[in-house]
Structures are given as C-alpha cells and as structure tokens.
A and B are shown apart, each in its own frame.
Chain A
Amino acid sequence: MKRIKYLNVFVIMLIIIYLLYFIGNIAVVFLTDIMEPYGALSKGFLFGNYTQYIVTVLPVFTFLGLLFVKKGLSTIIKEGFFNLKSGMQFKTGGKLFLVSGLLSFLFDFSILYDSKSFNLLGNLGQDFLLMVIGFSLYIVADILQNGSLIQQENDLTI
C-alpha cells in the first residue's frame, strides 16, 4: 500500500504540472500577445494558426485520464486493492490515455509528414508510450475486477 501512496503523490504532482501547463498556455495563447510575432511562422504549419490551439487542447485527454487514475488510486487506498470501483476508474483513465495517445500520434504524424522533419520521431515514440500506458491501465483494471470477484468468492467460502 505504501507504493500506491507514493504513486498517488506522483500522480497528484503530475496533475499540478498539467494544471500549470494549461494556465500558462491559456495565458500565452488567449490573454497575451506574446504569440503575435510568431503568427506568420505558424501560418507555414499544416494547421496554420490553429496549431497553438491544438497543442493546448490535446493534453486535456491525458489530464482527464490522470484525474481518473488519481480517483482509482484513492479508492484503492480507502477500500483495498481489489474493488470494482477503482477497476472502472482505471478503465476510463486507460480509455482517455488511448484517445489522447492516438490523437497526439495523428497530430504529430501529420506535422512530421508535412514538415519532413524527422527529429519529430521522438514525439511519435512518446505518443505510443501513452497508448501503451492506456492499454496497461486497461489490463490492470481487468486484474482488479477479476481479483474483486475472486476475493468476494473467497469471503463467501465458509
């Protein structure tokens, strides 16, 4: 349980980092004119001026996924390892990570295809990593749900 608590703290820290990222990005894109000099530059990108908005919005799915993972971890800390609730929350988190990874992959791939800049290949790797984490969460959710049923049966074995 100690490790789960450590993981919970890491997830909370990541959520705070994402929040700061969103606040910073929204301030830069919508509230200030810092990006104005780069307007002409972004017109050359595949998505034009919308690129900055897409970059701001894409991590929202990862952020929401993190919130669900945090909820799942809190439930494990409260109710023990095997419970159906945290299984459901991890499954939703996994789905959101998968969606986020897939959308980021499509975005990065289109940018890579358009710019032919192969140093963007690293981004594709990160997107795949996000999808792998999403799948892993799905598997963890299955294990938790099956474990919950087995524990229930064990408790009802007299």
Chain B
Amino acid sequence: MSIIVNLDIMLAKRGMKSNELAERVGITTANLSILKTGKAKAIRFSTLEAICKALECQPSDILEYVED
C-alpha cells in the first residue's frame, strides 16, 4: 500500500510506549499493532484525532504517501 504509517517513529520521538498510546487513544493494543504494521484498511478520523492529541502531532507526521 502506498500510504505508510509512521507511528513507530512518532512513538520513539515522544518516548511513549505502544501500550500507553493504545490506552490514551482508547483502542486495543492488537488494533494499534494492525495500524503500526500497515495492515489496516482505513483509519477513522476520531482515531486519528485521538492519536494526534496523544502524540501532540499533525496527521502528516503519522501518515505518509509514497508512490508505488
């Protein structure tokens, strides 16, 4: 898929663990893992908003478009 999820990078920058982010966002660690590994088919605006709020970043910091 040509949309890359850079959650790992943002987590490392903020020094936050996956479990903590999942708890703050209100999703399961399994779902966060699906998102991190790029297996997710879509992301809800509400989830994106919660992630951005928790990581104090913009959607563009998490999502990146790379041409195939």
Contacts and interface: CB of A to CB of B under 8 A. Distances in A.
Interface of A: 152-153, 156-158
Contacts of B41: 152-153, 156-157
Contacts, number: 23
B19 to A, nearest CB: 16
The 4 closest A-B pairs by CB, nearest first: A156-B41, A157-B42, A153-B41, A158-B35
Contact of B34 (A152, A153, A158): A158
Interface of B: 27, 31-32, 34-35, 39-44, 47
5 contacts: A156-B40, A156-B42, A157-B41, A157-B43, A158-B40
The residue among A152, A153, A157 with the most chain B CB atoms within 10 A of its own CB is A157
Nearest to B36: A158
Contacts of B44: 157-158
Contacts of A152: 41
Contacts of B27: 158
A153 B27 CA distance: 17
Given A152-B41, A156-B41, 15 more contacts: A153-B41, A153-B42, A156-B34, A156-B39, A157-B40, A157-B41, A157-B42, A158-B31, A158-B32, A158-B34, A158-B35, A158-B40, A158-B42, A158-B43, A158-B44
Nearest to B39: A156
Contacts of A157: 40-44
A152 B39 CA distance: 11
Contacts of A156: 34, 39-42
